[in-house]
Amino acid sequence: MYNKKIKKKKLIAAIIISIIIIILLIISIILNRKTGFIETFAKDIIMSPFTSLTSKNDFNQSESYTIQKNVNTSLEKEIKELKDTLELNKTLTEYEPINATILSRNKSYWFNTITIDKGKKSGIKKNMAVITKNGLIGKISKVYTYSSEIKLITSDDINFKVSIAIKTNDVDNYAVLNGYNKKNSLIKASGIDKTTTINKGDKVLTSGLGEMFPAGIFIGTVEKIKSDKYNLSKDIFIKTSQNFNDIHYVTVLKVK
Amino acid sequence: MIPLIIIIISLILDGVLTNFLPFLVNDLSLFTPLLTLVSIFIIYPFFRKKESRFYLILFIVGIIYDLLYTNLLFFNAILFLVTGILTKVIYKNFEINFLKIMIYSVILITTYEILTALIILIFNLVPITITKVIYKISHSVLLNIVYIEILYLIIKLIPKKYKNISIN
């Protein structure tokens, strides 16, 4: 009798724990969820050493460059990147560019995200487009007070699709970005009518159709064209000059 | 105190190796770190008589890990708890020595990666293939085995008066 009671209690405890685990997993895995107050607060505290470090770093690096111009090659590289970012800012007249530094990459292999040192305080909002001098790299997926998360376009996330326009002889052909080939660093796009003429080297830009990204942001050039496995449409592979494993500075586009 | 130091150092090293060493940043190197995960196995003997504290620490470390490196709140907290349970089972049923720890760390890494892949698969977030999972496991084994062996040796070297544990 006593054993039965203990068994029953254990079973109830196991069921409750399983339910809690499932709920927590659902909360964690919903990638588009809004970040709550507690999460934002905890994230801000945890990231504060890094965010304060990057803000100090920017100042020291520029100073160090002017003083010892040819001493440190890695510093020179960083300054070049910053200069490129400033050049980029001049061309984006319709948007208020918010420059940010990468704090960390997501450790999970399956989610291609990075964290930057700008958040709500700097005016960053969810779904803003993120670019570098080489073109579009992703969108803001989560915003905290002093940091944000960027989902890269190389991400295989089923819920994150980018509508693109392929410029062939001044005609726009529309498609959707659909995955990334890590081996040859090409972004795949699908959904192009098989009768459409697309040439190697055609420019690929954001179409602005999904209203997620502004139209006309450069993504890359067409590198390879293939028929899909049922020969119903074409798949194209886009070469981007951005090395997605080597991003240090980004620009978030805020509509004015 | 010792287990806390071990887990905090592993947590920091995990971030350093993933984000700051250029040769490790590219896609997946053969030295992909999962140091916090394997350090769970090493710290278990310190908590043999107070297991609830062990699980509490794992949960908190998991949340910090999520906040710092993944932005998936509770994801690794739960997986670390599962790893803790698996560690307990291994310690209760099998002998622990320098060579066998290698096998146990492979078991822990494989379980962690398979569980991660299964959760992602169930919630249909990212297309996952068995090849990709095997690729991820194979690239996570090397560095972590070396790390767990170093930790094992360090703990063996610590004088007994500073630790109330027994590792064979």
Q: Measure CA A139 to chain center.
A: 5
Instruction: Select the residue of B15, B32, B126 nearest A158 (Cβ to Cβ).
Output: B126
Q: Domain range spanning residue B115?
A: 2-156
In a domain, B112, yes or no: yes
In a domain, A32, yes or no: no
CB A87 within 8 A of CB A133: yes
User: Of the candidates B104, B108, B97, B94, which has an alpha carbon nearest to the alpha carbon of residue B153?
Assistant: B97
End-to-end CA distance of chain A: 72
Tens-place pLDDT, residues B58-102: 999 999 999 888 888 889 999 999 999 999 999 999 999 899 999
Number of domains in chain B: 1
Residues A134 and A152 in one domain: yes
Instruction: Give the number of other CB atoms < 10 A from CB of residue A218.
Output: 16
Residues A152 and A207 in one domain: no
Residues A220 and A250 in one domain: no
In a domain, B115, yes or no: yes
Q: Domain range spanning residue A210?
A: 163-239
Percentage of residues of chain A with pLDDT beyond 90: 7
Residues A120 and A179 in one domain: no
- Counting Cβ atoms within 10 Å, is residue A79 exposed (0-12), middle (13-18) or buried (19+)? middle
Q: Measure CA A49 to chain center.
A: 23
With a cut of 70, say whether residue A56 has pLDDT above it: no
- Counting Cβ atoms within 10 Å, is residue A37 exposed (0-12), middle (13-18) or buried (19+)? exposed
For residue A46, the chain B residues in CB contact (below 8 A) are: 64, 67-68
Which element (helix H / strand E) includes A226? Answer: strand A218-227
Residues A57 and A42 in one domain: yes
Residues A112 and A43 in one domain: yes
pLDDT value, residue A93: 65
Helix B35-43 / helix B2-19 crossing angle, nearest 10 deg: 170
Candidates A21, A109, A126, A188: best to mutate against B (most CBs of B within 10 A) is A109
State chain A's mean pLDDT as an integer. 80
Q: Which residues contact A101 (CB under 8 A, 6 or more apart)?
A: A54, A57, A58, A116, A117, A248, A249
| Strand A148-152 with A135-143, pairing | antiparallel
In a domain, A20, yes or no: no
> For B158, which DSSP code?
S
Tens-place pLDDT, residues B11-65: 999 888 887 665 555 567 778 889 999 999 999 999 988 889 999 999 999 999 9
pLDDT value, residue A2: 67
> What is the CATH classification number for the domain harbouring A107?
2.40.10.340
- Half-sphere exposure at residue A128, Cβ-oriented, CA atoms within 13 angstroms: 26
Residues A207 and A151 in one domain: no
B128 in contact with A, Cβ within 8 Å: yes
Q: How far apart are CA A85 and CA A207, in angstroms?
A: 23
Q: What is the mean pLDDT of residues A75-101?
A: 72
With a cut of 90, say whether residue A91 has pLDDT above it: no
In a domain, A49, yes or no: yes
> What is the CATH classification number for the domain harbouring A192?
2.40.10.350
Tens-place pLDDT, residues A69-81: 444 666 666 777 7
In a domain, A17, yes or no: no
- Counting Cβ atoms within 10 Å, is residue B92 exposed (0-12), middle (13-18) or buried (19+)? exposed
In a domain, B149, yes or no: yes
Using pLDDT thresholds of 50, 70 and 90, give the confidence band for residue A254: confident
Residues A133 and A249 in one domain: yes
In a domain, A191, yes or no: yes
For residue A104, the chain B residues in CB contact (below 8 A) are: 15, 18-19, 68-69
Q: Write the single-letter amino acid at B149.
A: E
Q: How far apart are CA B33 and CA B151, in angstroms?
A: 14
Q: How far apart are CA A86 and CA B72, in angstroms?
A: 33
Token representation of residue A189 = 């796009």
Residues A172 and A122 in one domain: no
Number of domains in chain A: 2
Tens-place pLDDT, residues B112-150: 999 999 988 888 778 888 998 998 899 889 999 999 999
For residue B116, the chain A residues in CB contact (below 8 A) are: 108, 110
Residues A81 and A207 in one domain: no
Is B25 in Cβ contact with A246 (below 8 Å)?
A: yes
pLDDT value, residue B5: 92
pLDDT value, residue B77: 92
What's the pTM? 0.81
Q: How far apart are CA B16 and CA A104, in angstroms?
A: 9
Using pLDDT thresholds of 50, 70 and 90, give the confidence band for residue A67: very low
B116 in contact with A, Cβ within 8 Å: yes
For residue A39, the chain B residues in CB contact (below 8 A) are: 67, 73
Instruction: Select the residue of A25, A46, A246 nearest B64 (Cβ to Cβ).
Output: A46
> For B68, which DSSP code?
I
Distance from CA of A168 to the nearest CA of B (A): 31
Is B71 in Cβ contact with A106 (below 8 Å)?
A: yes
In a domain, B28, yes or no: yes
Distance from CA of A106 to the nearest CA of B (A): 5
In a domain, B165, yes or no: no
With a cut of 60, say whether residue B168 has pLDDT above it: no
CB A43 within 8 A of CB A147: yes
In a domain, B35, yes or no: yes
In a domain, A173, yes or no: yes
In a domain, A218, yes or no: yes
Q: How far apart are CA A244 and CA A239, in angstroms?
A: 12
CB A148 within 8 A of CB B116: no
Instruction: Select the residue of A21, A110, A182 nearest B126 (Cβ to Cβ).
Output: A110
Instruction: Give the number of other CB atoms < 10 A from CB of residue B30.
Output: 11
Is B120 in Cβ contact with A158 (below 8 Å)?
A: no
In a domain, A233, yes or no: yes
Q: What is the mean pLDDT of residues A207-225?
A: 84
Residues A134 and A225 in one domain: no
Q: How far apart are CA B22 and CA A243, in angstroms?
A: 13
With a cut of 80, say whether residue A166 has pLDDT above it: yes
Which element (helix H / strand E) includes A9? Answer: helix A2-29
Residues A171 and A48 in one domain: no
